[in-house]
Structure 1
Amino acid sequence: MTVTIDQSDVDELIPTDHVSLSEPPAGKEATIEYLLDLLVDAGRVDDRDAALTALLAREEETTTGVGKGIGIPHAKTDAVSRPSVAFVRSEDGVDFGSMDGEPATLLFMILVPESGAEDHLSILSSLSRALMHDEVREDLHAAEDAEAVRDTLKEAVA
């Protein structure tokens, strides 16, 4: 059985203060720190250094560039007390080493507590499935504000 997230989960996982429509830094590690700081500023991260270490360790294992212009850096860490997602988009794209060689222009960060393996998998799989649809990616690129990003995600996981 596949566990999925639903519309009500989106509000909890990615409130509008977890969304940035500003251009992120060009490098992968700098972009990861940029996304992490959205969650730090929102009060979702208890230990920034530990979270960053977990994220970078995950990047060392295998790329989080999934193709189609999508990057999803993610980690399980006790540096967070509840599952959280951050989002930024990039006009220029950031090299996340994806299989198709395309830079990531839609970037999501997923952080879940160490004990949240099921949450981690359900968020990652729901998000990945939604982002395979051209229309969802186009709507995220066209979104004019954080509410539009969240509304697109809510509709996509419904």
Structure 2
Amino acid sequence: MSLIWKIAFAVAVVLTVQCIDERHDPVMRQAIRPVQKVSDSPLPKKDEYQLKIMMVLGTIYCNGERAAGVQPFFQDPWSPDLPAVYTRTDKIGFYRLETTNKFDRESVVWFTVRHQCPMPDVRPAAHCNTPYYWTEIPIDYPDKNSHVTFNFDLADKGNYTRAHCLF
């Protein structure tokens, strides 16, 4: 029985040594990790292409009071009404949003806020028990990196607002 254990141990050692040798072999390394570097990439090199980033930050108010818990977001350029980048305002109504590479070919970014701030100029449907509003404001997308401070009161943005019904 001890001869069988010695042979099994020897076979295990030989297999281990072969595996170690194959990992260090350059040909086997390509087989284990075939994609290491893309040489013919259609994307420009890093120095040829600069990602434009726009940061929008500020404070949102509702009828003069700081609006806590509203959800500002940038609409997805390919699927309107869906958020691409979103956040929630903190206790004092402050928010901060940054664009992503989805917006590189866009000239306008739609800054949208979902909220329940009472809007005297915008009437929801007659059967609506719980209205909520979407305020959509177009912001010109810059040619280079920039940041925009955008403080506003939702009650003053009636021209940019549409009403929906929650219930």
Question: Under a length normalisation based on structure 2, what TM-score does the superposition of the two structures give?
Answer: 0.27
- Which structure ranks higher in relative contact order (CA pairs < 8 Å, sequence separation ≥ 6)? 1
Structure having the higher strand fraction is 2
